[in-house]
Amino acid sequence: MMKNKKEVNEFPDFESNTFKIKCNYRLRNWVIIIFLFLIQSCNGFIPSGDTLIAKRLTEKGEQLLNSKPDSVLKLTDSVIRISLKTSLDDQLLVRAYAVRQKAFSKLKNMDSVIAVGSELRVIAERIPDSLSMANSLLLVKGEVDYNEQQKLLKYLPGGIFTFGKANKNYEKAQLLGSYGVILSQKGDFKQAQTLLFQAYKIYQDLDSLKAMWSVCLNIGSVYLFIGSTKEEIEYYKKAYDIAIKRNDSLQISSSLINISGYFNDIKNYDSASYYINESLKILPPSPAYHYLKMKIDYKVADIQTNKGNYTVAESFFNSMLNNCKRDGAIEGIAMAYKGLGTVYNKTNRPKLAIDCLTKAIKIADSMGQGNLKQMLWPILINTYKSSGDYKNAYEAVMINNALNDSLMALDKQVAIHDLEKGYQSEKKELENKRLTVELSSKKKIIFLLMLIFVILILLWRIRERWHKQLATTQNVLIAKYKAEKLERDQLKNKNIEIEPIIQSAIVTASEVEISLFEKINNYYREQKPYKNAKLKVADIVVVLNTTQNEIAQELKANNYPNFNAFTNYYRVEEARRMFEEEASSNLKLEIIGEQSGFGSKQSFYTAFESVTGIKPGFYRNSFMRTG
């Protein structure tokens, strides 16, 4: 028997292992491709072993910070060693350096606080992480060498902008105060005063006495430089009152030093000596306060100079110079040379005075200390004049005037500098946000792909289970239909005359009243009106002399929802009969559907599967294999 190869290929056998393998092979390929893509995409998100160790060490350091700062230094040192041999994430490194800097702060090791903070800011600038950079500036406290202050200068405007944007007013005020101090030392007193008063106002609103003390001293110092002695002593006394209220010996000592300086400037040397001696009594005996001790030594020697005790003053200044050279205190060296230059000038030793003053100016210039240079040049000019060196005196006057002009123009430079820093900080903040959003988007995409991967696996399993259930159901139905066909074939082989029996049943039925449903069935079996694709219920009404309503009721009573369902049942049975006949084996499915009474291929397929539970192609192929 010839088989319709086209039909066999179009409707494959679901029992065929080859078909299952092909379908599964394609799906598995897609799953493998997506899985490999996920591995490649996640490559940047999977931390290495060293990274995990460094992260745990940093977390442990954060836990021990308040109780064991020494242990924190050892832990973070291990993280730094790991970073030297393995590339660690910059954010993790910033976190490790931040906790290391805080540990040094707990141990009051300010030099290390400054050094670690510098390294932290270099790394944070790469990310960029403006907030970490700003926080690293907060830990620099107390009396810090001027050179170190200059290194912080370029970061302060950005830190102030960052804290302001984050509504961290206390931290913002801290940096405003630091920035004001550095600008005052550069000679920009107007801008310094503006910043210091901004900080003072914030601290007042927050009722922070400790911070207000520091700002009051700095405001007083600015008034000193601009010659406002009344306001100078007012803020020194405010600082002293706050220190007494807080009972802080270091703050009290610092306040007394500044008050002593005020009395020294107004030539009340007895009061100046009294307050400086009181400051020495209160100052805690600790190496951590060597910078403050240096200031006291200078004040003591300066008072002796103003009193006319030049021998004592010279001895004090020389001792201070040696100590500062030993400790590497550059600012102290400059101040000692200034004091010695003044003493030598007073004692008519112009060459020594000029030598010391010139050295002091060079040091002040190297540190960018405009205010110190402003004090030194007039002394040097007077020294040149007193020695009769009018040429150098004239050149010194010109340099001093140029210095004053440059300081007057500094306001504009600082304003531009602040705008530039603000712009750069905002730019870095926006870039940081963009990178964060981009990273978040990547993580979402990876999560979505992983979700799709899981869904594909589930769908694969569901599909496999559905195919098994479908194959089982179809096999059961085919077995049933094959059994029915076998039974019909056996009846034919036994030459049983079915037709006389049917005719006899019809004659007998004509003598007995039969139902309308039976009449319809008899008409369909005998005349086969269902082969007419345009058959309507009205046609049956005319033949059986009844009404559409009665036909509908009869069909519903016998589990047929409507006329089309009943008619399609007969058409499907006709198609099944043709599928089982060898004479129809070469006919296309559409032709069989059309000869069975269906008007379209779609209606045929739908009705056949609804009645038999099997697609027509699969049904036909099952009988063709065994036919």
Q: Per residue, what are the HEC states of 43-66?
A: CCCCCCHHHHHHHHHHHHHHHHCC
- Which CATH fold would you assign to the domain 305-408? 1.25.40
Say if CB 466 and CB 604 are below 8 A apart.
Answer: no
The confidence score (pLDDT) of residue 167 equals 92
The confidence score (pLDDT) of residue 198 equals 93
Query: Rounded to an integer, what distance in angstroms lies between the CA atom of residue 596 and that of residue 315?
Result: 129
351's CB contacts (< 8 A; 6+ apart) are: 387
Query: Rounded to an integer, what distance in angstroms lies between the CA atom of residue 402 and that of residue 274?
Result: 39
407's CB contacts (< 8 A; 6+ apart) are: 187, 188, 370, 374
Q: Maximum Cα–Cα distance for the chain, whole Å?
A: 161
pLDDT averaged per 10 residues, the chain (length 627):
38 43 57 59 56 89 91 92 86 92 89 89 89 90 68 87 92 90 83 92 89 90 87 92 89 88 87 86 67 78 87 89 84 88 89 90 76 78 84 81 57 47 58 73 82 86 77 74 72 57 52 81 92 91 92 92 93 89 85 91 91 87 67
What H or E segment, with its residue span, contains residue 144? none
Query: Rounded to an integer, what distance in angstroms lies between the CA atom of residue 214 and that of residue 235?
Result: 10
Single-letter amino acid, residue 374:
Q
The confidence score (pLDDT) of residue 110 equals 83
For residue 453 the two structure tokens come to: 């991967």
Write down the pTM of the prediction.
Answer: 0.50
Q: How far is CA 454 from CA 24, 408, 448, 461, in A?
A: 16, 70, 10, 11
* Secondary structure class of 216 (helix, strand, coil): helix
Q: How far is CA 362 from CA 145, 333, 337, 359, in A?
A: 17, 11, 11, 5
Closest CA to 387 of 427, 349, 361, 425: 349
The confidence score (pLDDT) of residue 505 equals 52
- Which CATH fold would you assign to the domain 498-626? Arc Repressor Mutant, subunit A (1.10.10)
Query: Rounded to an integer, what distance in angstroms lies between the CA atom of residue 372 and that of residue 368?
Result: 9
Query: Rounded to an integer, what distance in angstroms lies between the CA atom of residue 445 and that of residue 578?
Result: 55
Sign of CA dihedral 59, 62, 65, 70: positive
Query: Rounded to an integer, what distance in angstroms lies between the CA atom of residue 604 and that of residue 620?
Result: 14
Query: Rounded to an integer, what distance in angstroms lies between the CA atom of residue 261 and that of residue 263?
Result: 6
Say if CB 183 and CB 153 are below 8 A apart.
Answer: no
Say if CB 616 and CB 606 are below 8 A apart.
Answer: no
For residue 172 the two structure tokens come to: 């913002």
Instruction: Please list the residue range(s) of the chain that carry CATH number 1.25.40.10.
Output: 305-408
The confidence score (pLDDT) of residue 45 equals 46
311's CB contacts (< 8 A; 6+ apart) are: none
Instruction: Please list the residue range(s) of the chain that carry CATH number 1.10.10.60.
Output: 498-626
Say if CB 13 and CB 623 are below 8 A apart.
Answer: no
Number of H helices, E strands in the chain: 30, 0
